[in-house]
Amino acid sequence: MTYCVAIKVEQGLVLTSDSRTNAGIDHIASFRKLTVLEVPGERVIFIQSAGNLATTQSVITMLQTAIRNAERHCLNVPTMFDVAELVGKTMRDVIKRDQGQNQGVDFSCSMLVSGQIKGESHRLFHIYPQGNFIEAGEDTPYFQIGESKYGKPIIDRIVNNNTPLDRAMLCSLISMDSTLRSNLSVGMPLDLICYHKDQLKDPQIIRVEEDDEMFRQVRLAWSEGIRDLFNGLPSLTEDLCRAPDNTTNTDAGNAK
């Protein structure tokens, strides 16, 4: 399993992915699930993947091969919408090719495609295993794939289109921490990108290792903050948990 989250705000994009993959409890490894394709100064494209590793690697390899050999590919189509269509078609072709080869194996995958092409704004798409996709907007400023349920509540409460980019990054790290704590199939290290709109070059993938001091401080501050907040809640349920009063019954028994 895996967990990837992509957040699109007015200032840019924040992308966070774990790197764990497993084929049973005795075969756990790390693979990068965040790919960057770019023409510096003209376009930058990010692809995050979750699902069957063989499928996702095939899709990425075919997209990269198309850049060298195909007439139409991710680095020459005019819009990010066209990029999403190409990725969706490639996913559909790979899954169709592999389905049925091994009965009982799930070859499906999902991908988040984001980035910016010169002349249009930064965009974010969620591509489903069937190859169709939806686009993030002001009302839905983020997408998740993989083990998403544990990290969703914090993003729902915090992120909107006007959230500053640094706060969106912090929120994505807390979302990842919540998932890491609750699901062993998601694991370190993490890959993180903070992309400022109109940057169009040199996107830096930040590798967050297990001993990363920044991430350690974020995890610690969040855990302590949650405990302090919980301890500060009013005791509205105190009466419901009050021990039963047996005095009356005891007196009645003595009187008899």
Query: Which residues, given as ranges, of the chain have pLDDT below 50?
Result: 23, 25, 256
CA distances to 39, 153, 216, 220 from 229, in Å: 47, 16, 20, 14
Which architecture does CATH list for 3-231?
A: 4-Layer Sandwich (3.60)
Do the Cβ atoms of 35 and 60 come closer than 8 Å? yes
pLDDT at 253: 52
33, 56 Cβ separation under 8 angstroms: yes
Closest CA to 2 of 51, 59, 69: 51
Does the global pTM surpass 0.85?
A: yes
Break the chain into its structural domains and give their ranges.
Answer: 3-231
Q: Shortest CA distance to 1 belongs to which of 136, 180, 130?
A: 180
* CA separation for the pair 168, 166 (Å, rounded): 5
Rounded Cα gap, residues 85 and 87, in angstroms: 6
